[in-house]
Amino acid sequence: MIYYFDSVYVIGGLALLFLILLAFLKFMKRKSNMYLLCFSVMYIYLCVVLDLTQFPIYASEGMKAAMGGQNVWREMNLIPLKTIVTDFSMESVLNIIMTIPLGFGLSFLMRCS
């Protein structure tokens, strides 16, 4: 079974979580409307990053065989920025650009010094 980000279950679950978090922040934490707007933008940004980096999810052994037996652990790079020095590619640049909004957006949601 393959799970796509645009399936009803994933989008419905994220939308429900979003509404619960907004209600909690508005009524329990008494956050301003501007804070809720910044929170909403960051939530959408994180959903897009999740879609680009984690989906589709293959949930059966048959799919693993159909993909050519990819091994997730063998392909994983645990040394940060290792491939940027040896193999500079557009994927590396896009990964860095993808994290820039997170750095700016967190300062709107959390107090930083």
Number of CB atoms found within 10 A of residue 3's CB: 13
Q: What is the pTM of this model?
A: 0.72
The average pLDDT across 44-59 equals: 83
The count of domains in the chain is: 1
Question: What is the pLDDT at residue 85?
Answer: 65
- The model's pLDDT over 61-77, given as tens digits with 9 standing for 90+, comes to 666 666 665 565 666 66
Average pLDDT over residues 87-111: 82
Domain that holds residue 101: 2-112
Q: What is the pLDDT of residue 84?
A: 64
